[in-house]
Amino acid sequence: MRMARLPVLEAVRSTLLALVVAAPLALLAAAAVAAAPQPSFVVILADDMGYSDIGSYGGEIATPNLDALAAAGLRFTEFYNTARCSPTRAALLTGVYPHEAGMGFLPFDWHPPGYTGVLAENVVTIPEALEGAGYRSYLAGKWHLSDQMVEKAGDEARISKASWPIARGFDRFYGTISGAGNYFFPAALVEDERPIAPEGEDYYYTDAVSERAAAFVREHATRHPDQPFFLYVTYTAPHWPLHAREEDVARYRGRYDGGWDALREERHARMLEIGVVDRRWPLSPRDPDAPSWEKADQKIWQARRMEVYAAQVEVMDRGIGRIVSALRETGVLDDTLLLFLSDNGACAEELGDPLGWVRRFLPLAFRAPARDGRPVQRGNDPAVMPGGEHTFQSYGLPWANASNTPFRLYKQQVHEGGIATPMIAHWPAGLAAAPGALSDAPGHVVDLMPTLLELAGASHPRGRGERPSRELRGESLVPVLRGGRRERGPIFWEHQGNRAVRQGRWKLVSRWRRGWELYDMEGDRTELRNLAVEHPGRVRELVALYEEWAESAGVGPWPWVIRPLRWGVAALGVGGIAAAALVFEWMRRRRTGASTVR
């Protein structure tokens, strides 16, 4: 009779056998990872684009290039920005929240530490971190992270460039330091660190950004073929002003004659069909500040506004196609992780110019003449059709409400309409998901830096210069890109007193000087059923989380973050200007026969 093996001996034998088999496999896997090429990275950022504007997220605008990237890649349905352009750029590039990077508001140097208006010295940017891993970095487009803005070629000697792109890790730069401006004749173009003027009679900024981005890809392939790269493309499109070539606008003529109510319904139906929104989330009601299309005035002008906006988005998409072509031609498309997203939700700002004299005090980018020297007519005047270079208009709240379908509220606010962004990830060699897949994994722009660093095999520097660097706040998206899931920690927002925290399915949110609202993001992402009264314990828990974060991040009470003395001086100055402007406008209207001041 054979004696049965002792259980302990059998366990030891099995363990040894497993080690003998597994060890070589582990070594082979490690070698394969080590031998895998470092991916290159392309991050493309739209400006003021709503959640539902592009085709792959339910829009009717022609975006075939983005739609092709989505069809071959992965779409995130619950990704977030920070509700404003400069704060999003700061968070994306540094992996920390905007206030920690000095950009709690906009690039104005009159605020305390979280609101200095320039990237803080103790934060590290993506290109600064990737340099140690052998990457070169390129930027084409809008910077908007410095209060040192050059207005025209020739006056750069008085400008500090310490917070410009080249000083913060980029090897090449083409674009604008400031925010939005004339698309046909931008007033503050810069190449590397040298202010330049737009070239050519047919210059259009969106096309120029696309062409230079594609040129950077080809230049890199020629001069640095053995190095990976990071390309950051930051369009101003479709941020106001509404500027587009007439032939591009013509393709949308008549498309929006049915109005914003019909457009919202159309888009919502498509979004449900393709799965980017859940059927449990009803379409939010039309914004109470928007009239029904039936009762809207100036319908021809209103439709034209949306036509121009759509053309701006289409031209951006066409440029993205040129960038993808350059990646394909140089043989790096498969090994490049390309990400596309928007810096905030749709913009509901109405541009008025009742006090024309005030614009004399605005930065040149907003008051410069057209390229032929003629003045630009600023303001949403229905007597002037937008689109041409002598106009300066926005598309307004009702169309922004449609762009943000199915959500409510807009840029600057931290309800879903202000912070929800489409995000497309395209990476043929690296994505594990099936082509065209959707991911509902929550994410935030602070997650991009740790994601890129992990994929590059780069470490986050412990310091920048003599200062220790801030720790990353983001959490890597690599598990999601590789086909798995991750448990995302709480995500926080604050902008102009609008506050929010999301933890798992729960989101606590408040508009400035209003009470907290609680929403279940799984069942009610359109934020229509406030559950704060029903779940007071959950509210207290999330408020405590938010307050702890706000203190650690340097969030100040809005608007008193502005130093009292400067706030007082600024208020007196603005009040004086406004009073003088009213007098001048009154005198002008008296001379021209107008009886009232608008």
pLDDT recorded at residue 362:
52
Distance, CA of 386 to CA of 381 (rounded, Å): 9
Distance, CA of 86 to CA of 244 (rounded, Å): 24
pLDDT recorded at residue 355:
40
Query: Does residue 462 carry a pLDDT above 80?
Result: yes
For residue 100, the Cα-to-chain-centroid distance in whole angstroms is 18
Would you place residue 514 in the very low, low, confident or very high pLDDT band (cuts 50, 70, 90)?
very high
pLDDT recorded at residue 356:
47
**Mean pLDDT score, 469-485:** 94
pLDDT recorded at residue 555:
95
Domain with CATH 3.40.720.10 in the chain: 36-488
- Tens of pLDDT along 301-338? 999 999 999 999 999 999 999 999 999 999 999 999 99
Phi, psi of 134 (to 5 degrees): 90, 15
Given 85, 111, 444, 495, the catalytic residue: 85
Query: Does residue 166 carry a pLDDT above 80?
Result: yes
pLDDT recorded at residue 456:
98
Active site residue 347: no
User: Length of the chain in residues, anyone?
Assistant: 598
Which runs of E-coded beta strand occur in 71-148?
74-80, 136-142
Q: Does domain 36-488 have CATH number 3.40.720.10?
A: yes
Distance, CA of 404 to CA of 25 (rounded, Å): 49
pLDDT recorded at residue 206:
98
- Tens of pLDDT along 49-103? 999 999 999 999 999 999 999 999 999 999 999 999 999 999 999 999 999 999 9
Evaluate the omega torsion of the peptide bond into residue 238 and state whether it is cis, within 30 degrees of 0. yes
- Tens of pLDDT along 396-436? 999 999 999 999 999 999 999 999 999 999 999 999 999 99
Place of tokens 């840029």: 411
Query: Does residue 486 carry a pLDDT above 70?
Result: yes
Cβ atoms of 86 and 449 within 8 Å: the answer is: no
Q: Give the predicted TM-score (pTM) of the model.
A: 0.88
**Mean pLDDT score, 547-559:** 94
Helix or strand or coil: residue 180? Answer: coil
Active site residue 85: yes
Given 111, 144, 243, 426, the catalytic residue: 144
Would you place residue 565 in the very low, low, confident or very high pLDDT band (cuts 50, 70, 90)?
very low
Distance, CA of 594 to CA of 351 (rounded, Å): 22
Place of tokens 């009742």: 354
Q: Looking at 199-208, 339-348, 464-473, 521-530, which range is the least confident one?
A: 464-473
Query: Does residue 31 carry a pLDDT above 90?
Result: no
Distance, CA of 103 to CA of 320 (rounded, Å): 28
